Amino acid sequence: MSKTEYQGQAGELRARLVQAQYRLKDADFAAIIVIAGNDNFGRNDLIHVLHEWMDPRFLETRSFGHPTDEEKERPPFWRYWRALPPKGRIGIFYGSWVRRPLMDRIDGLIDDAALDDAIREINNFEKLLVDDGTLLFKFWLHLSEEELGKRLEAVRGDPQTASQVSRRDVDLLEGYDRALAVYERFVGGTSTAEAPWMIVDGSHAGTRNLTIGRTVLDALRRRLDAGQTPPCTPSADSAAEPSTAPKMSGEGRGLLDALDLTQTLPKGEYQKRLERYQAKLHGLGQTAFEQGLTSILLFEGWDASGKGGAIRRIARTLDPRDYRMIAIAAPNDEERARHYLWRFWRHIPPRGRIRLFDRSWYGRVLVERVEGFAAEHEWRRAYKEIRDFEEQLVRHGILLLKFWLHIDPQEQLRRFRQRERTPFKQHKMSEEDYRNRRKWDAYEAAAEEMVRRTGTDAAPWHLIEANDKRHARVKVLRIYCQELERRLA
């Protein structure tokens, strides 16, 4: 292809890409372009070209080097979550979630089994993005051994670029076969139906650029033409999802309606235990901070089931520097423009800190399900997404405790009436509370399924009989103390 020919084609492509970007701006999805491969130098050039071809105002390029300490203190994917582009934008990612496991395997720091674990995590993450409507491109820029050798020589030969050749580049050429085997395992493992790799021959820059530009353009247009309807994957995977056995703590042996709500704790005994556990928690909280044990406690349950009161009894004992309360209400527009889990990833605390969630990501399978804010295929796939999310937290060493505070409809009504009579609680009441009450059965079914599908060994649900507030508060405190003790032992 002659230079003129290339420029002609590039000019046309550029105009169309910018047009597509302007249509994307108002669309309900984001695009992500992952660039990887063994052609580091071509990659930089490609990114420049993409920046020139597209309107940089709607384009974000994110590269990832060594994690910062704020990143190191969170699960590995936190840094990628925080960099996700909002709907309407294109994000170019490189040195991304792809790089670390590849390099670690090539360097022999991890074995094949660990690489396969990483592949599984990547596939989960990418599936989640694609399910959410993200248009995901994965380009693998590849050079044969011969081409890679030529490329290194050329870069080295130019005084302007010579310094860019690192020891690592040379190693990768010398150990070409070994690296290739890792690439093949990795690319094969992460080429899924949802997010296949496109292998691009890196040896001809012009062809490479045009191929990639056209692929992006075509897919963008196809999606834009298809309208705003999200990719309604008939939830084969979620329908087929095996029913996981419920995990419950303490007394409760059945599901929600099997809980013994008659349990009470007399006031005198309550005061005694409350003080005992609070004193204990105070000390454990300090130790946890010193040892860098992070806690995330989330509270779900009926309106007026006493979530706030239970949270306050815990918070009271902690150093205010160490904890933060996160009350989950409607998402704001930065949050709405991304995957529903994004707003929770934002709140993952640094090492040794505590977050107390008053409602949580489970809203997806509770209120969003019941009120129809999420489509059925959306809340159905959320069970697995949530399990994956929580698994990441737990694997990072975070103590994750999930509490469901259970009351019966009569108790709720009693509390609503009482709130209406208590000056500093009146504001908590609205017509909506009564409206939600009328959907008790739907909410109960959702809660039952949630407990069944998301109670895992790593992150079991703690079901709390909460008709008696004193019983509930002490039980929550006791469980948190026990779990801290177990972990700090």
SS (H, E, C) 355-374: EEEECCHHHHHCHHHHCCCC
The residue ranges that bind its own copies (CB under 8 A) are 11, 14-19, 22, 44, 47-48, 51-52, 55-61, 63, 65, 68-70, 92, 94-95, 160, 163, 279, 282-283, 286, 308, 311-312, 315-316, 319-321, 324-325, 327, 329, 332-334, 350, 358, 422-425, 427
Minimum distance from residue 69 beta carbon to its own copies (Å): 5
Q: Looking at beta carbons only, is 218 or 334 nearer to its own copies?
A: 334
Give yes or no for a contact between 156 and 162, defined as CB atoms under 8 angstroms apart. yes
Minimum distance from residue 286 beta carbon to its own copies (Å): 7
Give yes or no for a contact between 439 and 228, defined as CB atoms under 8 angstroms apart. no
Minimum distance from residue 8 beta carbon to its own copies (Å): 13
Q: Looking at beta carbons only, is 100 or 185 nearer to its own copies?
A: 100
Residues whose CB is less than 8 angstroms from the CB of residue 331 and which lie 6 or more positions away in sequence, other chains included: 340, 343
Minimum distance from residue 240 beta carbon to its own copies (Å): 39
Quote the CA–CA distance of 248 and 460 in Å, as a whole number: 7
Quote the CA–CA distance of 41 and 36 in Å, as a whole number: 11
Quote the CA–CA distance of 437 and 125 in Å, as a whole number: 36
Minimum distance from residue 358 beta carbon to its own copies (Å): 7
Strand locations in 99-233 (E): 135-142, 198-201
Count of other CB atoms within 10 angstroms of residue 336: 13
Q: Looking at beta carbons only, is 58 or 176 nearer to its own copies?
A: 58
Q: Looking at beta carbons only, is 87 or 138 nearer to its own copies?
A: 87
Q: Looking at beta carbons only, is 29 or 383 nearer to its own copies?
A: 29
Quote the CA–CA distance of 329 and 3 in Å, as a whole number: 56
Q: Looking at beta carbons only, is 91 or 246 nearer to its own copies?
A: 91
Report residue 314 as tokens: 């815990």
Minimum distance from residue 73 beta carbon to its own copies (Å): 9
State the DSSP H helix or E strand holding residue 462, giving kind and residue range, or none if neither.
strand 461-465
275 three-class SS? helix
Quote the CA–CA distance of 456 and 395 in Å, as a whole number: 13
Q: Looking at beta carbons only, is 82 or 487 nearer to its own copies?
A: 82
Minimum distance from residue 78 beta carbon to its own copies (Å): 13
